[in-house]
Structure 1
């Protein structure tokens, strides 16, 4: 009679162990999913295994409240939120309900994860849930704390739109090196354009295999993110700083628009990506690795783009971990940093120069409130309202003159990331 396989011999188990480790890093330590992925996947040489680890973790986070509702409905005594058995059940169930894994394979790789723990409980709950053949809600349920916070800022309709957007795969937008060739690249890439220099790709496109990628004719950049550089217009050889620049989408936009760009970022690894992107696109910029709290330019400049460090709640569709890592404390801490950086950057601008402040956040503390605080502290600056003809089709400035993209922005064509963008001018006196 054949012996049952040892836990370490179960096919696919190392990837599930890595997924458990990755989710622990996100939920318990607050590490960003993409950063924690490398450490969690140590020992996994197969790229497909690493992709599976990412998919399991991302889909658990996307559907976590709904997975928990199924688990709680199958237990007499609720498992603690941080119980290992609960996380193992989430991993097993998401494979069956989202990723299409056969139930026997999912449970075979789940039970060894709770060796020394409640294996019978996990097996029983998994069986109870899967025998009922449930379907996860569409759209997914947002975490209660996030929904309450956003409803307080934007109202119930925004929360409903955020949930709907959460269920849709984010589109892939690209920015073009030559905006005059927009029609050409829209045809070549089989996409649609909402603005000069923009193409939205068809779903499922393999980026690196598309025409123009290797030649540097375009780069991936969400349409909302591209609006920040659009508000600075043509450079005509003038000087510009791109602060917190990596991985370089806005740097390349500014360089393509004729600005003499100095790109500054603190991260060595991300700056290497920026340099690679500049090389691929044959665009040029001075690249500086530095902490903006300690660095300053040799002379004032004509324009500044500050895409400030933020909570990144505006890109929750791509990075669902932000909904679990970010709370009031993180929002307050990052708002303080934004205030400091914006104040420093303002002093580096020539009289009459312009600064664009941007965050990929859906939190008013990092956008509207930040702008109001700055204008109160710096009466020598004024808001320069964005104009409709400067922006992509379907994206409009607010009545106050700044730009705020929300989950219902471009909803009929795939949506856009959440951004706050404001353009300010420094007085000439």
Structure 2
């Protein structure tokens, strides 16, 4: 690949890094604004991979670069150095990476005077090679997140979680029909809970069965709430906060009469597209959760908005785009959503509450406080007795605590809290 051929994806990756680290935006938001539109599908994938891998290794890159920098350069120059350091650590040819780094800095009038510095520093990084990179400590989560998680789980668990986060995430698939038949074609690994895991999936839309709608991408942990809910054919079920629709499709595939609600118009369009591709049926409603007042549901799945701290292995931009300041607002919103969801259930109905968070305040504590607010409300621990759900994941309160370091040798899983609540008759 020539230097010019490789510059487009690198410049796009650099722009995304600048937006995350400088503007506090999340990668999906930046991509949704068109950051990759000018690139070919192949280059889009490469740019996204470069940005993601750089964010995943950012703290380690900074540690390596600090040895060769007397003072911290401006953010865009720092991000060029970070991006190129991660590429060099991955074994990319030094000549092409160094030249690309110098070219990216030279093209910007505000940073062109620093091309000599970039050239010198990257040559020193290249001399260290992947061997020098491997000797550095694993990146840690930022202090605002690491401290509460360390308090909750202890230092050994947090170190194990950080190791899984740094390793990245394989691709998990939920199958509409026969899992074994699908895996005979996909040639992945069938996980205990029924998801298929692919280590080096490549372009998702090119995989067999995608166009036919035989399956959809969904982290294995994210598929477990529906296993706990155990939807039955013909049941009237509400998927509240439904986008991007993986759980909606699970419910529909089970034969339930599904209503999917989400406030985001763009994300609900995506839900509709996924339903169409998979040939599944559900009623889709664009609405704020609190504005949706239809009641009489047999069951409700509430995957409440949260800090998403359980998804960092797939979304390494989160620690850099957030600072924890929204925790209080999210925790309050989750409590109100539980109350609202219970009002939409018929007497004796069941509610599965879940969040893709590692913070107990967004999981165990929410259920504990909901039981105090609602007389007769019960946690159904028996709902966790499903195939593949490890008894070691259960909590004392009758819920399920999933952590990224579970199934670590197979690539881990998203962090989740899941509990089924039964409304009194």
Q: TM exceeds 0.5?
A: yes
State the distance in 1 between where 2:186 and 2:43 align: 30
Specify the alignment match of 1:86 in structure 2.
78
Partner of 2:325, secondary structure, is helix
> Could you tell me how far apart the structure 2 residues matched to 1:121 and 1:32 are?
29
Aligned to 1:214: 211
| Cα distance, 1:40 vs structure 2 | 6.1
TM-score for the superposition, normalised by structure 2: 0.89
CA 1:187–1:138 in 2, change beyond 3 Å: closer, same or farther? farther
Whether 1:353 and 2:349 are equivalent positions in the alignment is: yes
Secondary structure of 2:289 counterpart: coil
1:332-352 CA-to-partner distances (Å, cap 9, x unmatched) read: 222222122222111111110
CA drift of 1:151 comes to 1.1
Q: Give the corresponding residue for 2:321.
A: 325
The corresponding residue for 2:46 is 52
Note if contact 2:88-2:125 (Cα within 8 Å) is conserved in structure 1. no
Change over 3 Å in CA distance of 1:251–1:206 after alignment to 2: same
**1:413 corresponds to 2:410:** yes
- Kindly state the Cα deviation for residue 427 of structure 1 after the two structures are TM-superposed: 0.7
8 Å CA contact retained: 1:175, 1:218: yes
Unaligned regions of 5+ residues in structure 1, if any?
1-8
Using the TM superposition, name which of 15-24 and 157-166 deviates more: 15-24
* Aligned partner of 2:274 among 274, 277, 284: 277
Cα distance change, pair 107–263 in 1 and its aligned pair in 2 (3 A): closer
For residue 385 of structure 2, what is the aligned residue in structure 1?
389
**Distance of aligned partners of 1:213 and 1:111 in 2 relative to their CA distance in 1, 3 Å threshold:** closer
Deviates more, 1:135-144 or 1:247-256: 135-144
Deviation at 1:359, TM superposition (A): 0.9
The residue matched to 1:166 in structure 2 has which SS?
Answer: helix
Higher helix content, 1 or 2: 2
Quick one: structure 1 residues 295 and 52, their matched pair in 2 at CA, closer, same or farther if it must change by over 3 Å? same
- Structure 1 segment 115-126 matched on structure 2, within 5 A: 115-117=109-111, 118-126=114-122
- CA 1:182 to 1:340, structure 2 compared with 1: closer, same or farther past 3 Å? same
Q: Which runs of 5+ in 2 are unaligned?
A: none
Compared with structure 1, are the counterparts of its residues 160 and 21 closer, same or farther at alpha carbon in structure 2 (3 Å cutoff)? Answer: same
**C-alpha displacement of 1:162:** 1.2
Aligned position for 2:133 = 135
Aligned-residue offset at 1:204: 3.0
Instruction: Single out whichever of 168-177 and 223-232 deviates more from structure 2.
Output: 168-177
Q: Which residue of 2 aligns with 1:367?
A: 363
How far is the alpha carbon of 1:177 from its aligned partner? 2.0
- CA distance 1:355–1:365, change in 2 (3 Å): same
TM-score (structure 1 length as normaliser): 0.88
Tell me the distance in 2 between the aligned counterparts of 1:174 and 1:239. Answer: 25
User: In the TM superposition, what whole-angstrom CA distance separates every residue of 1:377-426 from its partner, at most 9, and x where no partner exists?
Assistant: 22231111145531425464223321111122112322211111111010
Aligned residue for 1:18?
12
Where do 1:151-230 residues align within 5 Å? 151-178=150-177, 181-195=178-192, 197-201=194-198, 203-204=200-201, 207-230=204-227
Who is 1:68 aligned against?
62
Matched, 1:340 2:336: yes
